[in-house]
A and B are shown apart, each in its own frame.
Chain A
Amino acid sequence: MTASLGHSAILVALALAVWGIVAPILGARTGRQRYFAGARAAIVGQFFLVTVAALSLIYALVTTDFSIKYVAFNTTRATPVYYRVTGLWGALEGSLLLWEWILIIFSGLVAWIYKDRHRELMPWVLMIFSTVSAFFLAVIGFASNPFESVFPVPLDGRGLNPLLEDANMITHPPLLYTGFVGLTVPYAFAMAALIKGRLDGDWIVTTRRWTITAWFFLTMGNLVGAWWSYHVLGWGGYWAWDPVENAAFMPWLPATAFLHSVQVQERRGMLKVWNLSLIIIAFSLTIFGTFLTRSGIISSIHAFSSGPVGTLFLSFLAFILISSFGLLAYRADKLKGRPELDSMVSRESAFLLNNVVLVSALFTIFLGTIFPLISEAVAGVQVSVGAPYFNSVTVPLFLLLVFLMGVGPMIAWRKASWDNLKRNFLWPAVAALMIALFLFIWWIRDFLPLLGFTLSAFVVFSILFDTALAVRARCRIAGEWIGSALVTLARRNQRRYGGLVVHLGIVLIVLGIAGSMSYSIERQATLNVGETLAVGQYKIRFEGLRGSQQPTHYRVQGAFRVFNNGDESGVFSPTLKFFPNQQSPIGRAVFRSTFTEDLYLILSGFSELQQNRATLKVLVRPLVAWIWLGGLVIALGTLVAIWPFKQSAVSE
């Protein structure tokens, strides 16, 4: 019953989506307005139908309706209600439905917000939404149906992968999908602008907030993924350059490039073709990511089922690339750039270089991810490149990017004068060099981390220095108090100051990555009861093992008393959980996090529960906490940038 309701809703929505594609074309042919209204109605209809479908699946999951295969595979009677709901994105079929649901929510929002605006563009914007939606609906309806029934109906379900039973799983996939789907908004406006030949950059101004929002969700999705990997997967790292991680990270790069390069177009009318290409690439990569992870062509530690879905996504990807770039070529005459760069030392060129670096990073990551395919096709041998490749190639690029973060926002447009450079960068550079000297003398002798910390300091100083100058000017002119001057500045120019706060957040992440990449300590040993392992300034004494039967699994817990520089800091209990329907146990690492470093304990094995011998892996990872803190600062900065202040429209 629930299943047929959900499935029919999907099929009717598909019919509406097709109408949503045809209607604007008919409207353009005949000139009748009611066809354009039809494009809108198609979106609204899809919104309600897909919502019905999604709610049906959630209802089936919550009521554990095991006649539906998807429910039987992803819940059990014992699963708590909230994990039943998150079962919606526990596997492929439901994930696609969630994706479609978010997409159609975004489409509905766009249709509603711009009801009376952009009359020329809107029918085409909605057509693009319907096109993407039609693809997903067709996949959900025919190739990967979450409402498929199973017979005989099992007595109990198989349940989620226990690794997914974690609070972060509630947020990670929806955040990431929202980021992916959010990129559809600027893409749809860009395509509509191309179709109508209205390429004055209106679409960029309109989609500004949407793009920032999408970027924010993409950033958070990746960070929460890293957090989950670090805190739950229990291998002591937060990023492994796994193809699945790369697939989620790649769209972030052109999206970030786009956020910067559109400012050049807004300000100077340059880079029109480039901006359109970036958004096409960013959107395509969200589809490519799904293709990559669902087609099984690249082996990944993340186990996913494969099937016809991969091929469908590849076809859709080809369709998007050919039609989008075809349209771009067709409109090439309208996209002639206006002025060229006036000077190599200017904000334009800083942004341009930022774009080149981001796209280079994208290219290298893309190449590394699909390298096994290339080498197989070209040389007949499978050669893969692992984390060392990605690290050695992207670290220099990202360091250059950090440097540009310190320069770009402060340097003058058109042509930076010597005075401008001296005024904005002399003191920050001097301060950063002093920090470098200090670090070199006291702690850090390795080149890359030293460079990373120095550049980070430069960014922080240049942001603080610039803000301080602006605040001082306001205090003098308007006679304001420092705090209120800062608030006025941020409100008057929220995109700039929001962006600067985001940059500070990125710097914190860079610090965390630089520290933990360069100065981690890793030890593993098998200990008898009473034995002590020394790692850095820590001494870890093994005090015994305890096994206990839990409702869903059998648990083995180790007790390790930790001494930090001789001071006791408590007993750590890393755990191994043995689930009856899983072949291998699931480790639960224990860690203590401080701003200087994390201590991370993993129980990797034990022999003879009675004899009490345990194999322990210990990691000391400096500065990791700053990565998560950076995420919070980025969220704050994004809020500053997009918060709908009343006056901001006036001052911009």
Chain B
Amino acid sequence: MRRSRFIVGGIVILAALSYLIYTGMREAAVYFVTPSELKAQEKPSKDRFLRMGGMVVQGSLQKDLTNLTYRFQITDGKETIPVYFRGVPPDLFSEGKGAVVEGRFGADGVFQATIIMAKHSEEYSPPKEGIHSDLRSFVPDAGEKRP
């Protein structure tokens, strides 16, 4: 009698926990894709939250600082995907550098990014004297330090 009560209790707890995990995962799962994989999909997964990594194409970056909107293209060398972002991109974000964007792939073929993460380089760069002493502008490379 007592034992069965425990088993029932255990099953209820397990079921509740599984439900929590399942719904949590479904809402929060982020799929890693490359531009080629995204292009290759026959029906773009519109409702899925994606994380796409690649290089920011040289010369593709158009920014509107007043409205804080950014348009650029991400490539993996084979395919290129246009990206739209509103907000402040991270410190290391710039053309020709690696970046990871997170968001949804719109039906119009534009990736609507909600977060941009720039690839951190752990390489050591030797100190350069006075590199920033005539700094005139710093276009938001920072801000969203973390997702």
Binding site for B on A (CB under 8 A): 156, 158, 233-235, 237, 240, 242, 301, 303, 305, 340-341, 344, 356, 360, 363-364, 367-368, 371, 381-390, 392-393, 396-397, 524-526, 547, 549, 553-554, 556, 576, 578, 580-585, 587, 602, 604-610, 613, 615, 617
B131 at the A interface (CB under 8 A): yes
A246 CB, min distance to chain B CBs, angstroms = 14
CB of B17 within 8 A of CB of A580, answer no
A-B contacts besides A583-B91, A607-B137, 5 pairs, CB < 8 Å: A301-B146, A340-B2, A382-B32, A608-B136, A615-B65
9-residue interface stretch from B21-29, B54-62, B72-80, B103-111: B21-29
Contacts of B30 in A (CB 8 A): 383-386
Given A344-B5, A396-B20, A605 and B140 contact (CB-CB distance below 8 Å):
yes
Contacts of B32 in A (CB 8 A): 381-384
Which residue of the partner chain, among B9, B23, B137, B138, contacts A585 with CB atoms under 8 Å? B138
Given A303-B122, A583-B125, A584-B91, A234 and B66 contact (CB-CB distance below 8 Å):
no
* Chain A residue at minimum C-beta to C-beta distance from B65: A526
Contact residues, B66-96 vs A (CB, 8 A): 66, 68, 87-88, 90-92
How far apart are the CA atoms of A305 and B123 in the complex, in Å?
10
Q: Please provide the 3 A-B residue pairs with the shortest distance between their CB atoms, ordered closest to farther.
A: A605-B140, A584-B91, A604-B143
Contacts of B92 in A (CB 8 A): 583-584
Contacts of A341 in B (CB 8 A): 2
CB of A554 within 8 A of CB of B25, answer no
- Residues 122-137 of chain B, each 1 if its beta carbon lies under 8 Å from chain A, else 0: 1011111111110111
* Chain A residue at minimum C-beta to C-beta distance from B9: A344
CB of A235 within 8 A of CB of B144, answer yes
Given A388-B24, A389-B27, A581-B127, A576 and B146 contact (CB-CB distance below 8 Å):
no
14 A-B residue pairs with CB within 8 Å: A305-B122, A360-B17, A383-B32, A386-B28, A386-B30, A526-B65, A554-B135, A583-B125, A587-B142, A605-B88, A608-B136, A609-B135, A610-B136, A617-B143
* Chain A residue at minimum C-beta to C-beta distance from B37: A381
Contacts of A303 in B (CB 8 A): 120, 122
Which residue of the partner chain, among B20, B129, B146, contacts A240 with CB atoms under 8 Å? B146
Contacts of A392 in B (CB 8 A): 20, 23-24, 27-28
B41 at the A interface (CB under 8 A): no
B22 CB, min distance to chain A CBs, angstroms = 10
* Chain B residue at minimum C-beta to C-beta distance from A610: B136
A160 CB, min distance to chain B CBs, angstroms = 13
Contacts of B143 in A (CB 8 A): 524, 587, 602, 604-605, 615, 617
Contacts of A583 in B (CB 8 A): 91-92, 121, 125
Most chain A beta-carbon contacts within 10 A, residue among B20, B29, B142, B144 = B142
CB of B132 within 8 A of CB of A609, answer no
Contacts of B5 in A (CB 8 A): 344
Size range of the chain B interface in the assembly? 35 or more
A258 CB, min distance to chain B CBs, angstroms = 19
How far apart are the CA atoms of A364 and B22 in the complex, in Å?
10
Which residue of the partner chain, among A368, A386, A605, contacts B142 with CB atoms under 8 Å? A605
* Chain B residue at minimum C-beta to C-beta distance from A525: B68
How far apart are the CA atoms of A587 and B146 in the complex, in Å?
13
CB of A615 within 8 A of CB of B68, answer yes
How far apart are the CA atoms of A341 and B6 in the complex, in Å?
10
Contacts of A576 in B (CB 8 A): 138, 142
B117 CB, min distance to chain A CBs, angstroms = 8
Contacts of A604 in B (CB 8 A): 88, 140, 142-143
A651 CB, min distance to chain B CBs, angstroms = 35
A133 CB, min distance to chain B CBs, angstroms = 30
* Chain B residue at minimum C-beta to C-beta distance from A163: B145
B139 at the A interface (CB under 8 A): yes
B64 CB, min distance to chain A CBs, angstroms = 9
Which residue of the partner chain, among B13, B66, B127, contacts A360 with CB atoms under 8 Å? B13
* Chain B residue at minimum C-beta to C-beta distance from A384: B30
CB of A580 within 8 A of CB of B127, answer yes
B27 CB, min distance to chain A CBs, angstroms = 6
CB of A235 within 8 A of CB of B136, answer no
CB of A526 within 8 A of CB of B68, answer yes
How far apart are the CA atoms of A289 and B30 in the complex, in Å?
23
Contacts of B28 in A (CB 8 A): 385-390, 392
Which residue of the partner chain, among A367, A386, A549, A613, contacts B65 with CB atoms under 8 Å? A613
CB of B20 within 8 A of CB of A580, answer no
Given A392-B23, A580-B129, A606 and B146 contact (CB-CB distance below 8 Å):
no
* Chain B residue at minimum C-beta to C-beta distance from A236: B145
A163 CB, min distance to chain B CBs, angstroms = 10
Contacts of B127 in A (CB 8 A): 156, 158, 580-581
Given A344-B5, A360-B13, A554-B132, A388 and B68 contact (CB-CB distance below 8 Å):
no
CB of A367 within 8 A of CB of B128, answer no
Given A305-B122, A382-B32, A524-B68, A605 and B136 contact (CB-CB distance below 8 Å):
no
How far apart are the CA atoms of A526 and B20 in the complex, in Å?
40
* Chain A residue at minimum C-beta to C-beta distance from B17: A360
How far apart are the CA atoms of A389 and B141 in the complex, in Å?
28
